[in-house]
Chains A and B, each alone.
Chain A
C-alpha cells in the first residue's frame, strides 16, 4: 500500500461518516434523542480530521515527489522551484476540489463546535446541510475526479506546475477563491437549518453572521488577487477583462455584499426576511456555479484549466439545491412575514434596499452576459461572444449609482430621514464632492463626464466616512474624555462592524479611483524597435537596449532591456520578460515590467522579437496603484469587521425609539 492510499481511505471514511450525520442529526432532533445529535456532532469533528488528513497526505505526496500519484505527476516536477510545490495542490481539478472539500470539512467542525450549545433546534439541520454538500463533493472526489489515483507505473519525473500558475499572485488567488466559494455553504446551511426547523427568529442569523462576513472576505480577497495577477501576467494592460471565470468569481461577492447590507435591516427592523433567505440561497448557488464553471469547464474561457465529465454532476446538484431550498422556503413563507414596513421613502432602510437592487442588478447583468452565449448556442445554434463593452456599458452606470449611494446611505436615519437632518448631514460631503469637480475641471483639466462624476462621487464617499468618524470621535471625547487616538481605537473596537465597514468603503472608493484611471484614461502604443531606437508615451521616452535569453531552473527566460527617461531625465531600466516553462512550450507567459508611482504605472510587455527588432506593448495606466492600496485597506477593514465583538451587540431596538440619531447604524 502506498502512502497516498491513506488519503483515499480518509475520503471514503469521511463519506460514510458524513452520510451518517445527514441521517442521524435530523433524526436525533426529531426523535428527541440528544445523544444521537451529540454523536452526529462528534462525527463532524472526526470528518474534519479525516479531511485534513486527506489534504495533508496529498501535500506529502507532493513534497515526497511521489510521481506514482497521477495528480502529483501532472502538477509538479523535480526541477521546478521548491516554493511552487504546494501550488500543485490546486494546479488541477482533482486537487482543487479536494482543497474545497477539506476546507468545508474543517469549517463544518468549527461551526459545529462554536454552536455546540446554541440554537439546538436549528443546528441538527445546519449540520446535515453542510454534510449533504460534503457528501456531494466526496462522491465527486472518490468516483469522478480522484486526486489519489495511482499510475500503473510511477514516473521518474513529473510534468511540472502549469506555467500560468507560476506566480506569487497565483499562489494565493486560487486557494482564497476556493475558500470563498466553499464558505458560502455555511450561511446557506444556517438558512436551511432555520427554514427546515421553522426557527426563523433572529438567532440563526446572528449565528450565521460571522461566517457570512468570512465567506465574503475570502471571496473579495480572492477576486482582488485574481485582478492583480491578471494585471501583471496577462499583459493586455488591464486587470479585469469580464472573462467568464472572472465574472463567476465576482457574482457571489456582489450578492454577498448585498446580504451584508440587507441583514442589517432584518436585525434592526425585522424586515426583508424573505429577501435575505433568497439572497443567501442564490449566493450559495452562484458559489457552486463558480466552482463548477472553473472546474467543470461549462464556459469556454481563458483560464479554464480543466474540462471534465463533472458538468452534469454539478448541474444536477445545483438543481437539487435550488429545488429543495425553494420547497422549504415556500413552506415557511408564513413565518417570514416582516415585523415592520417601510415608514418613509427616504430612510436607511430604503437606502439599503436600493443598495441591494443595484448590487443584484450588477450581478444579474453580469450573469446574463456570461451565460448568454451558452443560451444562444443551445437554442439557436449560433456561436456568439459578449464582449467587455457590454459589461462596462451596463455596470459602469450602476457602479456609479452605488458609489453615490455609498456616500449617502451611512448618513440617513433609520425609519425616516428628515429634511433638516439631510441638510445638516450632507453639507460637508457635498462640499467635498463639488470642490473636487472644480479642482478637476480647472486645475487638472479633466473633461470626461464619467471621470468627473466618478471622482466627485468618491469625494462624497470620503467626506461621509470622515464625517462619521469625526462625529464618533467627538462623542467619545465628550462622553468618555478619551484622547484622540484612544477615541478612534475605542470607537472602532466598540462597533467593529460599522467602523470596519467604513474602512471597507474607503478601500472601495480607492479601488474605484483605480478603475476610473485605467478604464477612462489609459494610453497605449505598440511599437517595433531595433536596438538603440526610442519611442515616447506620456512623459516617458523608452530606448530599446537589447535582449538576452537565460535559463532558470526549468524555465527559459527571454528579457529585453529598455532605458526609460522621464521628462528628459534618466529614470529607470525596465526588463519585460517572456517565460517558457519546460513541458509547457506552447504556453509562454509574460512578466510585464511595471514601474508604479502614485500618479500612474508605466507598463511594458515584450510581445515579440527576432534577431533584429523587438515589439513592445506599452501602456500608461493612471492611478492603478490606488487599486492595490484600496485592496489592502479593504482587507484591513474586513478583518476589523470580522473580528469577533468583545461584548454582545444590540440586535433589536424598541418599536418607537424616539429620535434615533442619524449616525447610528
Chain B
C-alpha cells in the first residue's frame, strides 16, 4: 500500500517547521487572532451564563453567599402553602423531601398544568436578602411512575420549556 505514495512526498521539508516556513505569515497571524477571539468570547461568556442546580438544603447552606446569584432549586411544594393573589402572583413553600428545610418562593408567570401540593418542582431565580426566592421560571416534574410508564421520557417537554425567555 505504501508504494502508492507520491514520489516527491518526502523531498520537501515536512513537519511543523516546514509547514510554518511555507505559511503566509499575515494569514497565519490573522487566523490565530480570530481563533483567540472566538475562544476568549466563549470562555468569558460561559462564566456568566452558568446556573447551578441546588437542593433546598444546599441553598440554605450557602446562606448569604447565594443572595442575588441565579440558581435552579429543586424541592417539593408544601401541602397547603400555595397562595395566589389577584394580580396572579404565586407564593408557595418548597421543602427538601428528606429534611425539614424549606424556602418560600414568589413567582409570576405561566404555571405548569400539573403544579400543585406535593409536586416536585424546579424553580429558577434568585434568593434575596428577605429570605424569599424570587423565581422567574417554574418547572414541574412528573412523579416517577410516569417516567417508567412513558418509556423513560424524563420530563414533560411542554412543562420544561423556559417561558421566561425574551
Contact = CB atoms under 8 A, between A and B. Distances in A.
A150 to B, nearest CB: 17
Given A394-B41, A587-B158, A386 B50 contact: yes
A608 B110 contact: yes
Contact of A390 (B49, B153, B156): B49
B23 interface: yes
Interface string A240-278: 010000000000000000000000000000000000000
B160 to A, nearest CB: 5
A528 interface: yes
Contacts of B160: 302
Nearest to B15: A333
A388 B165 contact: yes
Interface in A354-392: 354, 357-358, 361, 364-365, 368-369, 372, 382-390
Contacts of B162: 236, 241, 387-388
B24 interface: yes
Interface in B95-111: 109-111
Given A302-B160, A304-B154, A342-B24, A586 B49 contact: no
B10 A334 contact: yes
B69 interface: no
Contacts of A19: none
B30 A235 contact: no
A341 interface: yes
Interface in B62-80: 72
A120 B114 CA distance: 62
Interface residues of B, number: 53
A394 B46 CA distance: 9
Contact of A241 (B30, B49, B161): B161
B161 A164 contact: no
A605 B153 CA distance: 24
Contacts of B2: 198
A341 B152 contact: no
Interface in A154-176: 164
A438 interface: no
Nearest to B38: A361
A587 B154 CA distance: 12
Given A198-B1, A305-B153, A384-B51, A350 B46 contact: no
A512 to B, nearest CB: 19
Given A164-B157, A304-B154, A608-B110, A343 B9 contact: no
A586 B119 CA distance: 13
B151 A74 contact: yes
Interface string B1-30: 110111001101010000000111011001
A300 B147 CA distance: 13
A524 B163 CA distance: 11
B129 interface: no
A385 B72 contact: yes
Contacts of B156: 586-587
B21 to A, nearest CB: 10
Nearest to A347: B27
B115 to A, nearest CB: 10
B49 A387 contact: yes
Contact of B53 (A92, A383, A393): A383
Given A305-B153, A306-B152, A364-B38, A617 B31 contact: no
A384 B38 contact: no
A586 B162 CA distance: 18
A393 B45 contact: yes
Contacts of B158: 234-235, 587-590
A365 B38 contact: yes
A140 to B, nearest CB: 17
Contacts of A361: 34-35, 38
B46 to A, nearest CB: 6
Given A337-B9, A587-B158, A369 B46 contact: yes
Contact of B151 (A237, A306, A338, A590): A306
Interface string A394-408: 100110000000000
A235 B161 contact: yes
Contacts of A561: none
Given A197-B4, A198-B5, A302 B157 contact: yes
Given A341-B22, A368-B42, 15 more contacts: A234-B157, A297-B152, A302-B161, A305-B151, A307-B152, A307-B154, A308-B152, A334-B9, A335-B6, A384-B50, A385-B50, A387-B51, A390-B46, A584-B150, A588-B113
Interface of A: 74, 92, 121, 164, 196-199, 234-238, 241, 297, 300, 302-308, 333-335, 337-338, 341-345, 350, 353-354, 357-358, 361, 364-365, 368-369, 372, 382-390, 393-394, 397-398, 522, 524, 526, 528, 584, 586-590, 607-608, 615, 617
13 contacts: A300-B154, A300-B155, A306-B152, A335-B6, A342-B27, A345-B27, A345-B30, A353-B27, A364-B38, A365-B41, A369-B46, A384-B50, A526-B88
Interface of B: 1-2, 4-6, 9-10, 12, 14, 22-24, 26-27, 30-31, 34-35, 38, 41-42, 45-46, 48-53, 72, 88, 109-111, 113-114, 142, 146, 150-158, 160-163, 165-166
